[in-house]
Amino acid sequence: MSEIIAYDTDFGKPLHTIDKAESHRLCMEAQARGEPAPHKHKHLGVMLFDGLEKIITSVRDFDASHNADMMDKTLGGHIPTGFDAAAALLKVSSREYKVPIAIVSKEELAYIVLNHPELVKRQAFITEVDYDDNYVSERAIGDDKTFNELCIQQVFVGVYDGPYKCEDDGTAIRVASLDKVRGYMSRKPGKVTGDFKTFMAAYDHEIASVVDLIARSNALEGKDTAEELVAEFDMDGIMTGTVARKQAHHAIRATARDGKPQEVKHSHIGGLLIGSDGQIYVQIRSENKAENPGMYDKIVGGHIPLGDSPTVAAYHEFLEEMRIPVALYSEVTWKNILKNCPDAINTQAICLHPVLKENFPSYRKRADGDSFTELCDQYITVGYYDGDFGFTDKEAAGIYQFPSREALKDEITEHPEKFTADLKFLVGEYWDQLVPLEDRIAK
């Protein structure tokens, strides 16, 4: 049984739950009698574009009950009972194409595509462009008949330039330029779903904006980029200037050597990852690192580049250091996803929005003996992940998996010199969260 919520057609008030097939039957019977729909449902729809400005469309299963063998939007479906849109999106994505996906703001989408285009090669980034509480979804039901389903439709557009694979037998993916798609729609309107036609017409501006972003990003490809900068703040958190990332610690080390208080600080991002059975993943830092070489550390971490939000910084740190796609959510949405779509953590890390810890004391042990404590604004994200790891920027020498938080704590107690001060502090700070997935969502 596929259960959904029936909503009042006038005000969108929840009425009751109902099997999806039964709901469609009641609505079709009402339409046949010339009566208004008895209720409506919540849907979501996604249109994705690749790095060549082409639209990624789906071709529906030729045995589908609705819109069989027709060209459709990239992703879509009902929002099941108990799911929010983010959980339903991950369920649809993991079920159909195994594409890691994250919902971001319009500003973050633009920033990622223009400043971190390498990220869209590893996961999809989408933004919501509409919430239509009286959307009419036209569905072909065979014998040249159609059924108009009244629904509450959330619409997303975004960018993805990575691999995908179809999991549903009979479903396919077709990628083509907008001009070619529009030509096909004109020649064979009966082979295109009503949703796709509506999306292409109603969201033309949003589609054009995404395509323009990709074109601008492609125009920048290959051009020399400036040295990476980080924002510099006074100890009250007021931005005072910028500094090259490679030189960010120079002034802090100098004041430490002189025995003076620290005068400037920077923002950092760090992550903790837990496996579904409660295993804790730690990074083994490269022996070639100037600071904390060869030590066990949090799974990812680094300075937040100038212009990046903490969430954008988390996306690129996870992907650049460990090849881990990640999605960041509020705690309510995060728990909804982990409860209703736990398999999502096989494809991507499901994490909480980064939380700020001001003036976090980060002790840095240097190979040259010039060790120091850096006070920084540390943003921390915590989440679950059961997927694969990789190494892209030579920051890490490997991954170590502790079977439980207790095993990690015992090793820290017995061999404290092996672990960074950051990791030791964070294990204590987040102890209650470092538990198996089943225990965490039960809280």
22: Cβ–Cβ under 8 A, 6 or more apart, which residues? none
Amino acid at 33: R
Query: What tokens were used for 185?
Result: 């729609």
Domains and CATH numbers, the chain: 3-220 (3.90.79.10), 229-442 (3.90.79.10)
**3-state secondary structure (DSSP) of residue 378:** strand
Question: What is the per-residue pLDDT for 274?
Answer: 98
Q: Is the pTM of this model over 0.85?
A: yes
Query: What is residue 312's three-state secondary structure?
Result: helix
What b-and-e string marks burial along 409-439, b requiring 16 or more CB atoms within 10 Å of the CB?
bebbeeeeeebbbbbbbbbeeeeeebbbbee
Whole-number Å distance between alpha carbons of 427 and 439: 17
**For residue 1, what pLDDT is reported?**
47
Low-confidence ranges of the chain (pLDDT < 50): 1
pLDDT number for residue 224: 61
Residue 382's alpha-carbon distances to 58, 100, 330, 352, 355, in angstroms, are 34, 18, 11, 6, 9
By the 8 A CB rule, do 37 and 27 touch?
yes
